[in-house]
């Protein structure tokens, strides 16, 4: 029986097969407005003294929760508020399952000052060049979708074109995908097979993360006490999307959250 992740990857392979011949990797490597812009370091923003570590995410829907916001919602309506106090901004670009768009990535880069993460299901090096051309500063490499060899190749390629990378893991076994080309490790509390969330995943894996590698907790963070717990455990980054995007005004929800965190 196929899982949600299996369906996403199957759709992603079809998507790449359609678009890759239209825009070969060489085109991305030699063209594009964003090649002229210096990339921003998420690592630096997370380790900066006084950083709240929040990577605020923009996404319109999810396979498990359905639609949060209509397709007509402009990314800038939310990101301008995220940009004021977030350590970074995550843009979910998968269209079929998350309602995303690569144009969202461009808009976010233009109107923000902090690093922009392209969050998608990357299974081909071509997507990394595409990410750079559309304005990403950071790419997500999901261990559940890749072999250790692919992670090393993709992280090395990302580094060669000026991008940082986050290795996303869900269990201790996936930490074996780590290599020194990876800049950060994200622990996703959401099981990608069932989409169930358990914050204890982050707490259990923190001791297994290599020393000196910034750790990011992802999914299931809905209150400031959880962030304080995760921060005390050793996490420097906290990726939060659904908690803000489900509200009528995601930007204001983010602002209120940060104010509570700073009390």
Residue pLDDT, tens place only, 214-241 = 999 999 899 999 999 999 999 999 999 9
Question: How many Å is the maximal CA-CA distance in the chain?
Answer: 52
State which fold the 4-261 domain adopts: TIM Barrel (3.20.20)
**What tens digit of pLDDT does each residue of 107-166 get?**
999 999 999 999 999 999 999 999 999 999 999 999 999 999 999 999 999 999 999 999
Q: Is the confidence at residue 33, as pLDDT, over 60?
A: no
Residue 99 burial (CB count, 10 A)? 20
Is residue 59 part of the annotated active site? The answer reads yes
Residue 57 CA to residue 88 CA, distance in Å, equals 9
Catalytic residue among 39, 61, 112, 168: 168
Residues 211-227, buried b or exposed e (16+ Cβ, 10 A)?
Answer: eeebbbbbbbbeebebb
**What tens digit of pLDDT does each residue of 50-64 get?**
999 999 999 999 888
Residue 214 CA to residue 55 CA, distance in Å, equals 13
Asked if 20 contacts 126 with a C-beta cutoff of 8 angstroms, the reply is yes
Is residue 57 part of the annotated active site? The answer reads yes
Assigned token pair, 186: 């994200």
Domain spans in the chain, listed from the N-terminal domain onward:
4-261
Q: Is the confidence at residue 36, as pLDDT, over 70?
A: no
Residue position matching structure tokens 């825009």: 23
Which 3 state secondary structure label does DSSP give 54?
A: strand
- Give the Å distances, CA to CA, from 121 to 65, 117, 158, 249: 18, 12, 15, 27
pLDDT-derived band at 209, boundaries 50, 70, 90: very high
Residue 157 burial (CB count, 10 A)? 18
- Give the Å distances, CA to CA, from 92 to 3, 89, 154: 20, 10, 19
Assigned token pair, 161: 């074109």
**Once rounded to an integer, what is the mean pLDDT over residues 13-21?**
95
For residue 99, give every residue at least 6 positions away whose Cβ sits within 8 Å of its Cβ, in sequence order, or none: 59, 60, 61, 67, 69, 71
Catalytic residue among 59, 69, 109, 152: 59
Catalytic residue among 188, 191, 202, 243: 188
Catalytic residue among 130, 164, 174, 218: 218
């Amino acid at each position: 029986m196929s899982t949600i992740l299996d369906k996403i990857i199957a759709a992603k392979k079809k998507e790449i097969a359609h678009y890759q011949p239209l825009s070969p990797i060489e085109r991305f490597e030699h063209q594009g407005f964003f090649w002229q812009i210096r990339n921003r370091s998420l690592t630096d923003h997370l380790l900066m003294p006084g950083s709240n570590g929040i990577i605020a995410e923009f996404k319109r829907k999810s396979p498990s929760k359905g639609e949060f916001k209509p397709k007509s919602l402009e990314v800038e309506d939310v990101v301008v508020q995220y940009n004021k106090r977030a350590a970074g901004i995550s843009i979910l670009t998968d269209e079929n399952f998350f309602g995303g768009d690569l144009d969202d990535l461009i808009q976010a880069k233009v109107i923000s000052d902090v690093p922009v993460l392209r969050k998608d299901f990357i299974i081909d090096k071509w997507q990394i060049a595409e990410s750079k051309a559309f304005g990403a500063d950071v790419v997500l490499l999901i261990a559940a979708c890749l072999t250790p060899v692919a992670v090393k190749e993709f992280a090395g390629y990302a580094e060669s074109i000026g991008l940082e990378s986050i290795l996303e893991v869900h269990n201790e076994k996936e930490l074996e995908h780590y290599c020194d080309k990876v800049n950060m490790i994200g622990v996703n509390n959401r099981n990608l097979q069932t989409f169930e969330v358990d914050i204890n995943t982050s707490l259990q894996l923190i001791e297994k993360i290599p020393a000196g590698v910034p750790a990011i907790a992802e999914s299931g963070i809905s209150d400031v006490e959880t962030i304080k717990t995760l921060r005390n455990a050793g996490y420097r980054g906290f990726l939060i999307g659904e908690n803000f995007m489900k509200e009528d005004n995601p930007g204001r929800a983010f602002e209120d959250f940060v104010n509570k965190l700073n009390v």
